[in-house]
Structure 1
């Protein structure tokens, strides 16, 4: 019997913003299972503490840092911490994001500004500050959404932030390719996470969102965080001749499929 541990990511260093729950946490766990050193960030104190408990078995290879992706001061502190604790980054996974379901008439200036600060400004300056720590052969993977194209009721601002993020990723891919850094985008559909991707929804609203997702997704189910994590890790370590690309993880939802009624 082969008892050798399966450690495909041994020696790799990864940073995941928004890594304390859902897709980010699943990606962190997969990396740690594979032998990597991982630093995850988050802002919510309860999520930070829960992530510390989940990742505790991995010991010093797992680090959890409180950091607001919309704060340039926090981003600068993150860069200093990564330089001190990890030294370099082989994978930078930009996963932090927020969303709200709001008809455009109800959108406030404060909500609009916060959405763009978290979903676009934060990612831009995180890459700007952390790219100097990334050697040739490393990768950046953004979590976007299938809402980064097309239109959906109640998601005008969110969709705009994700469309901007997707465009930004293309720009980074062009600017970083000569440095040997690949940049790609994963765009999930309906994924079964603690928030279902809607930050401030009630339990009833999430239940309805789950029902709707199962109904309109051609595969007739939500995806799992682990399925998104596998797509992230494919871009990070397997797709070595791919940059500037977008991969949907959506059960066929964004592909125009029209399966027979269930």
Structure 2
């Protein structure tokens, strides 16, 4: 058993809202992820899907899925995050659980709940045991169900540190954050090929792999004009699934299916 703990963002809802979602990087992340989910997952269906959002945060993806007419269950261990998610979005058919993945999974199994789609975005990199925890959640996926997984890319973190001149950190490969205070550097950034190997070992079919924010974070102009951002967004869309560019996305999104 790991002596480390999962990172839970209690008290950080305002910082997440300000630093992530009220920014061009947050807007781009949502735009790319929504596009890939719609292209690779059966979201435009007449029958509502049962969807589980693990680590739902401020609820942006869950609210979008709810607005599409699906039945969404949000699981989020930070009470203030979940409260803000409930308050800031209109909801139609959503349920909310303030607990972590390890607490929710056995509860859901006891109820014999199954989901057509499991969403797990920007969660793995904050877990003490990412592979183990994700695998524990997979029995909640229905037969021929889907997984939408997004994680912080360790390769992009290394690249970013070198670009910023953090050479010692790069040489020593001390890339992970400490999880202390209010810093948002992930404690367990993931190697994409390792995560893809997990999914293959679990016999999931990969439907698409996408780099999210391949170019955006390296713009020389830190406050680009709307016209410049539109150009960057278009280029991100063009190259996000092309070799070698997707491999340097700040996040990697994977769509997969249970056979």
TM-score by length of 2: 0.51
Unaligned runs of 5+ in 1: 1-5, 69-74, 99-115, 197-208, 231-245, 251-262
CA distance in 2, matches of 1:27, 1:222: 24
- What is the CA distance between 1:28 and its match in structure 2? 0.9
1:91 corresponds in structure 2 to 117
CA distance in 2, matches of 1:67, 1:44: 8
Count of paired positions = 178
2:106 corresponds in structure 1 to 80
Question: Aligned ranges for residues 1-262 of structure 1 at < 5 Å?
Answer: 8=45, 10-21=47-58, 25-55=59-89, 57-58=91-92, 61-68=93-100, 75-83=101-109, 87-97=113-123, 118-119=126-127, 121=129, 123-145=130-152, 148-149=155-156, 150-153=158-161, 156-157=175-176, 158=185, 161-164=188-191, 166-177=192-203, 182=206, 186-189=210-213, 214=223, 220=229
Q: 1:167 to 1:211 in 2, by over 3 A?
A: same
Moved over 4 A (4+): 180-186, 209-215, 221-224, 246-250
CA distance in 2, matches of 1:96, 1:173: 17
Describe the SS at the equivalent of 2:91: helix
The alignment yields a C-alpha RMSD, in angstroms, of: 4.6
Pick the structure with more helix per residue: 1
TM-score by length of 1: 0.51
